[in-house]
Each structure stands twice: as C-alpha cells, then as structure tokens.
Amino acid sequence: MSTYRIQGATGDWEVVIGLEVHAQVTSNSKLFSGSATAFGAEPNSQVSLIDAAMPGMLPVLNGECIRQAVRTGMAIDAQINKWSRFDRKNYFYADLPQGYQISQLYHPIVGEGSLTIEADEKAGIPEAKVIGVERIHVEQDAGKLMHDQHPTMSYVDLNRSGVALMEIVSRPDMNSPAEAGAYLSKLRTILRYVGSCDGNMDQGSMRADVNVSVRRPGDELGTRTETKNVNSVRFVMQAIEHEANRQVDVIEGGGKIVQETRLFDPNTGSTRSMRSKEDAHDYRYFPDPDLLPLVLEDAFLEDCRASLPELPDAKRARYEGELGLSAYNAAVLTADVDTFRWFEALLAETALAQGKKPAEVAKQAANWLISELFGALNKLGKSLDESPVSHEQAAELLGLVGKGTISGSIAKQVLETMLETGEGATAIVEREGLKQESDTGAIEAKVDEILAANGDKVEQYRGGKVALFGFFVGQTMKAMQGKANPGVINEILKSKLG
Amino acid sequence: MSVDTATVAKIASLARLKVSEAELEAMVPELNGILAWVEQLGEVDVTGVEPMTAVIPNTLRLREDVINADPLTGGDRRDAVLANAPAAQHGFFGVPKVIE
Amino acid sequence: MPNSSNSITDLGVAAIRDGVAAGQFSAVEVAEAFNANVAAAQSALNAFIVATPEKAIEAAKAVDAARSAGQALGPMAGVPIGMKDLFATEGVQTTAASHMLEGFVPRYESTVSRKLWEAGAGMLGKLNLDQFAMGSSNESSYFGNVISPWQRPGSNAQLTPGGSSGGSSAAIAARLAPAATGTDTGGSIRQPAAYTGTVGIKPTYGRCSRWGVVAYASSLDQAGSMARDVTDCAIMLEAMAGFDPKDSTSLDLAVPAWTGSLSGDLRGKRVGIPREYRVDGMPAEVDAIWEQGIAWAKDAGAEVVEVSLPHTRYALAAYYIIAPAEASSNLARYDGVRYGLRDLPDGAGLQNMYAATRAAGFGDEVKRRILIGTYVLSAGFYDAYYTQAQKVRTLISQDFAKAFEQVDVLLTPTAPSAAFALGENVDDPLSMYLNDVFTVPASLAGLPAMSVPAGLDAQGLPLGLQIIGRPLDEQGVLNAGLAIEARAGFTAKPEKWW
C-alpha cells in the first residue's frame, strides 16, 4: 500500500486512482472507413462519406485495428475475447457526425490483464507494484472542434472522426500521483514497443481520463470525479494532486463530492467542472445493427502472438542477466523504443568493431551511451534520433578505447570533435595525435620520475595513506599530457609502490 | 410502463426534438397507447433464449488496412463531403459557437 | 406486335427488354412513352417526388447505341424504372420524403441503383414514399400523399396505395413505370403490392446491399423489386442483388439464376399454412382468397399442410420496439450540421439548433418512432423492452426454422384487408401498425417473402397472397408465386380516372 497521503485538517486521506487511457491505434486507415489517419492534414481532407455520416453510409471493420488491439492485450497478459461485439453509444455533439459512437460496451475484445510499475524510492513507490487492467476495447475517435476561428461559429474538422482508439481501462489500483504517472509511462512504453500506438501525447494520440476519489484509511471508496483528456504524464500527476486536495477540502468543509466530469487546465494546474448537460449520461447503448459479432480465429491469434517483440520487462531482465548491465542502466535503456533500438544497434556495431561478443562489450556501450552521448545530445538540444553521431561512428570510437588506442578521458574530447565536425574517431585521433601511450617502458620512465619527485608522498602512501594512489596516477597522466593508458599506469604504480 | 408529460419531455430532450406544450399533451396518450400494446411482450417466456445478434447467421468480415482503397469509402474528397453543408467555412463545417 | 405508346406502357420488364433487343421498338420510344405517362399522372397521383425524364432518355439512348454497335445488352437494357426516393442517386435529389433532406443532392450512388443502371435500366424519377420509410399508407410524406390509381367503383374517395413504397406501387399499377425499386422493413414492398394488384418481393436479409439506402431499421431494411408479374420481379431482383463489401451485413454468396430457373411446377413441394395467421376479425374475403390460394397450390402439385408459428402474435410488438429503437439511432445524424435542413433560431446554441432542426425537419410519425425508440433504449427500460424484443425475435425465427423442417414455403394473406381510404387510419397510429401483422414476422426472421395479386374483393379492390421461404430460397418463393400467378389469372387494372 502506498504511503502517499493527503494531509487534511482533520487527518490523513488516502487517494484512489483509476485511469482510462484512449490510445489512437497505429493503422493506415480508420476503424470503419478507408480514410487516412495521419496527423496534421488539411481540415476535412481525410474524411469519407462514412465518416461524415451521409445518409445510407455503413461501417466496415479494419482488420489491422483489431490485430493491434489483440497484440496490445497480449502484451499485458490479458484475456483475449474470441467473441466480441460493437455497441452504439448515442449522444449529440458536433464532433460526432453519426450522433453515436461505435464502441464496445458489453463485450470488449480484451478482458483482464495487468502491468507492473517499477520500484522508485524517490517517487514514493517503495516496491514494484502490479496495476490491474480491467479491459481494452476498440472504438471510434471523435472529430475536432475549434472555437477561436470565428466570432459566432465553431468550426468542425472531422479528420480525426472515426480513427480507431483503444480504450484501456485500469483497475482503481493506484494510490498516488507517482504511481499513476509510472503506470501511464509504462503503458506508453509498452504501446510503443508493441507498435500499436505512437504514444504522442502532445499530438493527442494518447490521452487519459483520470478518476480520483479520496477516503479515510480503512473506509469504503469515496465518490469519484473524472477529469477528462489529460494529455501528459506530468499533467496527470498534477491533476490528481489538485483534485485529491480539492476533494479533501470539500469533504472537510462539510460538503459532498459530486460525481461529475471535470477538465484540467494546464495553465493553472487545477481542475474545473465541465458545463453540465442534464441528460449527459443516458447513452442508450445497444448492439450496432450494421455490424455482426466479431469472431477471432485461432490462426489469427497465433499470428498476433508471434508478431510481438521482446517486451520492456523481459528486455530489462535480459540486459541485466545476459548483458550484465546494472539495474539502473538496464532501466534507462529499455525505457523507450527509440533508446533500446539505438543501443542494440550500437551494441551490434561495437561487438563487430572489436571482434567480441555483445555481452563482452555491453557495459562499455551502455555506460558510454548513457554517460557520454545522452549528455552531449542534451547540450545540443537533439534527440537520439537526431544524433549527428551514428551507431557505426560510435562503435568506431568505442573500438579505439576498447583496444587501448585512446583513454576514456581522451574519448570525451574526441566525441566533442566528432559532434562538431562530423569526422570519424580514427581520423580525429590521427589528426590530433591523441593516441595514448601504452608503451610500458615510456610509462615506467615517467612513473619513476614522479615517484622520485614526490618521495615524501611515497612514504605517506606506504605508511597507509592509500588515497594518494590517485595523486600518483594523476601526476603521471599530467606529465604524459593525458595520453597514457591508465590501466598500464595503474599496473606499474602498483608494482613500484608495493 | 406509462409515461407522463415530464417523461415525454425528457425523452424528447434526449432525442433533441423540440416539442411544444400542446404537442407534449397530445403525445402522451399516443405513446402510452403504443407502449401499453408492446407490454404484451412481457408475457413471453424467454428463459434460456439469447437475443438475436445476426439475422442471417454470419460473422464480421475484416477489411485490409489500405488508405482510400475504394474511392466511395475513402477520404480525400472534401468537396463532396462539404457539398451539402448548410454553413461550410474555409474547409470546415460551421456550427453555432460552443463553449466547453 | 405492340407499337403504339399506349400498348408499350402495358408491357412489363421482360417484354420491353426483349422487344428492345429484337428491335421491335427503340429504348428511346419506351422511355418517351413512360415519361409521358409519368407527367400526365403527377398532379393526380403524386407518385413521384421528382421526375427525371432526361435521365430515362439518356439511358435509353445509350442502350440504343449499344444495340446498334452490336454490343451485348444488360438484363434490364431499355427498361425505364422508378427509383424509390430512399436510394441515394448521384446528382439527383434524394429526400426520403422528408423536409429534412429536401434539396439534398448526394455525391454518391447507392449500390442497388448503380447495379440497375449498369444493367441498362433508366430512371423515370424518384418515387414518393412514407417519410423515412416509416408508414403503411404513404400518408406521411412531406411531399404529399400518394393517391392510389385504384378506386372503389362508384366512389372517388382517394385510396392508399399502401406504404412505405406507395409511390412505387402506384406507379406500376398506373402504368407510369413497368417496375420500381422498393424497400421492405416490416412489409413496405409486400403490402403496397397487395393493395395495388402488383407483385413485390423482399429477398433474404443481406441479399441486396444497404449501402446508399437511407437507413430506417438496419437489421430489417431490405431493397426489393416491384413489377406487374413474378418473372419481371425475378429479372429485376437478379440485377439488384449481390455481395457488397461496403455493407458488413451483405451476404457473400453468388446470386442464383432465379429467372432462368423459374418454374410453377410445385410437385414434390410442401406448402405450409400457419394457423396463427387466421386472426380474429379477418374479413371473410381475405380468408376466401387464402383458401383459393391453397387450392391453386394443390393444383400445381404441392402438398398443403397446416403448421404452427406459435409466437406470431408477438411479432408486431417486437417489431415496434426493435425498428423504432434502431431508427432513433440511425436518424440521429440528421442534425443540421453537415447536410440537410438547418433551423437556427436567433441566438440558439448547438443543442438548440439540433432540437429546432429536427422538430422542423421530421414529420409526426417519424418523431413518434424516434421517441418510442429513444424510450425503449433508455436507462432502466433497455432490458424490459429491447432485450426482451430481441429474444422474442429469436423465438419467432426459431418458429420459422422448425416449420421449414416440414414444409418448403408458407402461404398466407399479405394484408388483413384491401386498401383503405386516405385519412381513415391517420388518427390512430396503432390501428395503422396492425396493417403489417402478416408481413412483419418474415422481416424479423430475415426471410425472403413475396406478394402476388390473387383476386379482387367485393369492392373491386386487389387482394394479395404472401409466400414466405427459407433463408436464401428466393427461388422457392418465386416458383410458388409463379404457380399462383398462373392460376389466379389476375388481369385487373385500375380504371384510368387521372
């Protein structure tokens, strides 16, 4: 149980959170029509007669959307329902041309599943926690309304109307903003791994409805409110914090929580009630008579399963186990699709360049990627995708370090130059004469000089001040303009100092 | 189940049909007559009977994920889509301004 | 050999098609003859909402040119037909007989009408109907009632041509068209055919595509053919039917060669007489014509047996829950946003625009059914009404399936009376609904069913007999119809008073 509490005037309150995530399915065309789904097109240019709900139009189901929903369900170990059905959710709004949304209320395509969020002490998640998923169903997205283009009119763009959505409904298993944030991040990562949704929350391809209630520890569940269409992990966490506090204030002030729909305002970090519509909630669901029950064949399900990639948890375990990476590094590298893909490409190239097995160079590649390249790209304001240094070039650089041609600290310098000039590592090392000295004789001579010039410190070291070892290493390196193989320096010093 | 003017007013609102007081008054007995008549369905023993899901036994066909495969069911036809619009504006459908 | 305008318009589909192919007359001659009849009858009968004489000529010219060039002609080549104004016709107003769609010009063609034009047919115009196909008397059209060409002898009281395909049935009976499309949801092809002494067939649910047909009740709507004899109906239905990938409920089966396999020989066939169709208060004449039909079936070689369809009496109630429920949702798209009527009172917001538009655009019967439909789907009533009705529907379907284990087709009257006078039933919706008592069960079960004229009542008005067949056995239905038609020798036609 999370230790997160709201401290109210009369005592502590627990928070109960459930998330309903709407994720746009990655597919070429819409759920029930052949229009394109790409983001950012001219208004109403990706709208078919069906999307516009012209008289006599009928829906025809896109098999790819079903495949993606099934793959997603499999990725969260969920029950796949071989028999499912579409229902109409009836209400009137300008972004809903049919006057109903085709969804799946009674018999969704995916049943119960779960995902695990990792322990994160700093965030107040003491140990890994399993968050249940109640169901995933497939439904149509609505169009878009713009209210600021004309003084008296709102403008309707139906490009998004009819795009396939997966609605992923969690169990109310989260108890803190951090847990909710972790769940949403993990879910997004899984969707991106599976390739069923690109998770671009700022483009609206993934959004969350946040259900929040509060209660005294041990009490029954309180009345919940729903904050709709929150489109970033940060905002979700803010919304929860604000809403939970608001609810505690209301209850402690003698009021009651009204079950209602709210909107999050990112500018103020607060939630506000939506204009209430009296009969907003009678959707009169009934099975869509233009569609027949959906039956999934075993062969289709097998194909879906076979197409799943290595998922985040499995990949992280393999990075730690097979590749010997630290838990931290494994977590960082598997946190996103783009990251692990880059890493795995780098690993392959690095192993090739050094003629070694991946497991033998994994730590080097991982450490360098995380400690060196990420930092450098951050400074340039570039993402990994936009890295001016390619996998091959990086592997070349790592190869030079691995073979002892340059030291790790020289490699930092080389990387900077690579980023500036686009040259390859070998060329830079040649040109700037950065090869490190590995000749034992030359290094030994320098070590002798340093030890001779610092007799008193040698005495202190031998007397027990072992920290001085680093001083000798540093001095030797300085005397060799940083171009000495640190490993060799260490060996020689050890043998001389005893 | 019978309805009164309040119920009919509520249903009319759900269905977005503006009805005058006079129309409401007239509709109540009409609807009640029909509803009373369909009540008889309650007499039927439907134990173990599944509601009809497909009139002629059939299951849903899945189509290929191809953009605009059939021009009749594809997009990229804004002119056709806006051709009968009461208030088309710069490629959008115009509606009375909504405040969310 | 007919060569005068008068006699050309007495010809049916087969005769016209064959006559054009043989060069007895040109397709243009045929089109001109029917165009003239259409124009002459419009003010009296109001069968058409819009006449399209130029389109009939255009199609006819194309057929004549093809014939001259020695090209193969389609199965409907040179046959001008009426198109019920429920089918979207590209470039030609499509209204569903409603103010809501007055002025709506589709940029697309329905699948069924496209197939007919591709088969060589031409369009005389868009036929009047009950608004949104909801009605049994064609008294709910925004564009005025259709007046039946039939009158009681010695009376000029206006009679109903039936509904909802009232314009279609009136046009055929009055020789304004040799054939017309209809749609049948609860009897809207069969009952008007019976009232006007014409033939009409509703195929198995899913035989004809619903794409581009303005939807009323999706799980019940079916397009069908109407003409003056069984053979003509078969020819036209063959041209209309077939799998359409744009309609998810479309049957993926080849269209059998119904016309080529027509046979009135019923030896070896068993005809069932459902005892529950003998209702209280059924007029003696209707009973008499039914007995007559039984005798004809026997004469054709069939064995006639009594069967039971125990849940028959619940069919109407089930229909008047299911159809309005689906309609209430299908008609939600008519909201004044993207096409059709928009009524925007001063200062009205979006939701008020909806309410005002729909109040102004829909007729009374449409509103009534939307309200019933909305009610039966609403929270708290869904199980009691909608689910119950769908279960009863299953039972009705099972009744038929059991009966068809013993017999090949069923024979019943089509309607409980002959045509009534306009205005007789408008004040009591319930009494209007009871006109569908014999036709609705076959609709609920999705079965092919046809009405053939059997005789006249004492007032000289047509009475029809209905044949219901197994799913996919349109052939069995057509054959039994042919057998009855041959023996009924129905040649009566309305005396021209217009």
pLDDT per residue over C193-243, tens digit each?
999 999 999 999 999 999 999 999 999 999 999 999 999 999 999 999 999
Q: Which CATH architecture has domain A440-497?
A: Orthogonal Bundle (1.10)
Residues of C in contact with A58 (CB under 8 A): 210-211, 246-249
Cβ contact B95:A154 at 8 Å: yes
* Distance from C-alpha of C213 to C-alpha of C221, rounded to nearest angstrom: 9
Give the global pTM: 0.93
pLDDT value for C5:
47
Residue A12 DSSP class:
E
SS3 A140: strand
pLDDT value for C3:
47
Cβ contact C201:C224 at 8 Å: yes
| Nearest CA-CA partner of C112 in C200, C223, C250 | C223
CATH number of residue B10's parent domain: 1.10.20
pLDDT value for B25:
92
Of C87, C96, C329, which has the smallest distance from its Cβ to A100's Cβ? Answer: C329
* Distance from C-alpha of C32 to C-alpha of C57, rounded to nearest angstrom: 7
Structural domains in chain B (count):
1
* C410 within domain boundaries: no
* B81 within domain boundaries: no
Cβ contact C277:C436 at 8 Å: no
* Distance from C-alpha of C176 to C-alpha of C48, rounded to nearest angstrom: 10
B43-96 confidence digits (pLDDT tens): 999 999 999 988 888 889 999 999 999 999 999 999 999 999 999 999 999 999
> Confidence band (pLDDT; 50, 70, 90) for A275?
low
In A45-143, beta strands by DSSP E: 83-84, 87-90, 100-103, 113-117, 129-140
DSSP assignment of C426-475, as one string?
TT-HHHHHGGGTTTHHHHHTT--EEEEEEEE-TTS-EEEEEEEE-TT-HH
| Nearest CA-CA partner of C375 in C411, C321, C420 | C321
- For residue C76, the enclosing domain spans 5-267
Neighbour-count burial for A98-124, b at 16+ CB within 10 Å, e otherwise: bbbbbbbbebbbbbebebebbebeebe
* Distance from C-alpha of A128 to C-alpha of C488, rounded to nearest angstrom: 83
Residues of B in contact with A157 (CB under 8 A): 92
- More confident site: A380 or C476: C476
* Distance from C-alpha of C421 to C-alpha of A265, rounded to nearest angstrom: 64
* B25 within domain boundaries: yes
The length of chain A is 498
* B50 within domain boundaries: no
* Distance from C-alpha of A144 to C-alpha of A96, rounded to nearest angstrom: 9
- Whether the per-residue pLDDT at A145 is higher than 90: the answer is yes
Both tokens of A384, joined, read 């990994």
- Whether the per-residue pLDDT at A319 is higher than 90: the answer is yes
Residues of C in contact with A94 (CB under 8 A): 337, 350
* Distance from C-alpha of C162 to C-alpha of A8, rounded to nearest angstrom: 72
* Distance from C-alpha of C214 to C-alpha of C200, rounded to nearest angstrom: 20
A216-227 confidence digits (pLDDT tens): 999 999 999 999
pLDDT value for A447:
87
* C242 within domain boundaries: yes
Work out the average pLDDT over A224-235.
95
Sheet holding C409-413, edge to edge: C48-51, C122-127, C80-84, C179-184, C222-227, C199-202, C449-456, C462-469, C409-413, C270-274, C303-307
User: Helices (DSSP H) in C363-436: which residue ranges?
Assistant: 364-377, 388-406, 429-433
- Whether the per-residue pLDDT at A420 is higher than 90: the answer is no
pLDDT value for C1:
44
Residues of B in contact with A46 (CB under 8 A): 75-76
- Whether the per-residue pLDDT at A305 is higher than 60: the answer is yes
User: Helices (DSSP H) in A202-357: which residue ranges?
Assistant: 233-252, 298-306, 312-321, 327-334, 337-354
- Closest residue in C to B71 (Cα) is C108
Work out the average pLDDT over C177-193.
98
The residue type of C188 is: S
Work out the average pLDDT over A1-11.
87
* Distance from C-alpha of C33 to C-alpha of C176, rounded to nearest angstrom: 9
Structural domains in chain C (count):
1
- Closest residue in B to C107 (Cα) is B80
Cβ–Cβ below 8 Å for A35 and B90 = no
Mean pLDDT for all residues in chain A: 93
Mean pLDDT for all residues in chain B: 92
In angstroms, what CA-CA distances link A383 with A312, A378, A379, C130? 21, 7, 10, 63
Neighbour-count burial for C337-360, b at 16+ CB within 10 Å, e otherwise: bbbbbbbbeeeeebbbbbbbbbbe
Cβ–Cβ below 8 Å for A145 and B98 = yes
Cβ–Cβ below 8 Å for B73 and C471 = no
> Confidence band (pLDDT; 50, 70, 90) for A410?
confident
Cβ–Cβ below 8 Å for A289 and C332 = no
Of A99, A284, A291, which has the smallest distance from its Cβ to C377's Cβ? Answer: A284
A37-65 confidence digits (pLDDT tens): 999 999 999 999 999 999 999 999 999 99
- For residue B13, the enclosing domain spans 5-41
Contacts of C445 (CB under 8 A, 6+ apart): B55, C393, C396, C397, C400
Residue C97: φ, ψ to 5°: 60, 30
Residue B90 DSSP class:
T
- Closest residue in B to C381 (Cα) is B1
pLDDT value for C183:
98
- Closest residue in B to A92 (Cα) is B16
Work out the average pLDDT over C60-82.
98
> Confidence band (pLDDT; 50, 70, 90) for A278?
very low
| Nearest CA-CA partner of A74 in A107, A104, A112, A19 | A112
pLDDT value for A406:
85
- Whether the per-residue pLDDT at A483 is higher than 80: the answer is no
Q: Which of C220, C375, C436, C443 to mutate to test the interface with B (most CBs of B within 10 A)?
A: C375
Domain boundaries, chain A: 6-302, 312-432, 440-497
- Whether omega before C164 lies within 30 degrees of 0, making that bond cis, reads yes
* Distance from C-alpha of A407 to C-alpha of C70, rounded to nearest angstrom: 89
Residue C410: φ, ψ to 5°: -115, 145
Cβ contact A179:A125 at 8 Å: yes
Residue A361 DSSP class:
H
Task: Name residue, tokens 């990420």.
Answer: A374
Cβ contact B51:C391 at 8 Å: yes
Q: Which of B66, B82, B97, B100 to mutate to test the interface with A (most CBs of A within 10 A)?
A: B97
Which residues of C carry out catalysis?
84, 164, 188
